[in-house]
Amino acid sequence: NAGVTQTPKFRVLKTGQSMTLLCAQDMNHEYMYWYRQDPGMGLRLIHYSVGEGTTAKGEVPDGYNVSRLKKQNFLLGLESAAPSQTSVYFCASSYGGRGSDTQYFGPGTRLTVL
């Protein structure tokens, strides 16, 4: 049982390049999330999904797109990377959408945009 995994662990991009981050979970969770973590700001929600084939915007969605084609996978895309998107990206999943449900986090992807 691997929990939540993220690919890749590190990535360096040039401004304007595109990339996709992959998140996978093997806990059969319905809800999945993408966060970014910046120094002194905690975690901020980018996008989330309440089930296969659904996505919704979070607090800071601009410049990102997501897809949830399979229940176990949640992809985060950057179409044209900008230096402001330099951050650590975390994926999380939860069984349900109640406020009391625990979110389980992946190990993170450290992205640098030059």
Partner 1 sequence: AQSVTQLGSHVSVSEGALVLLRCNYSSSVPPYLFWYVQYPNQGLQLLLKYTTGATLVKGINGFEAEFKKSETSFHLTKPSAHMSDAAEYFCAVSGSGSARQLTFGSGTQLTVLP
Tokens of 11: 């990535």
For partner 1, the closer of residues 56 and 82 by Cβ is: 56
Q: Which of 44, 54, 79, 114 binds partner 1 (CB under 8 A)?
A: 44
Q: Report in angstroms how near the CB of residue 63 gets to partner 1 at its nearest.
A: 19
The answer to whether the beta carbons of residues 48 and 63 sit under 8 Å apart is no
**52-81 binders of partner 1 (CB under 8 A):** 56, 58
Rounded Cα–Cα distance for residues 64 and 98 (Å): 25
Residue 2 sits in the site that holds partner 1 (CB under 8 A): no
Reported as half-sphere exposure (CB side, CA atoms, 13 A), residue 11 has a value of 25
Contact 103, 37 (CB under 8 A): no
Chain residues that interact with partner 1, rule: CB under 8 A: 4, 31, 33, 40-45, 48, 50, 56, 58, 90, 92, 94, 96-108
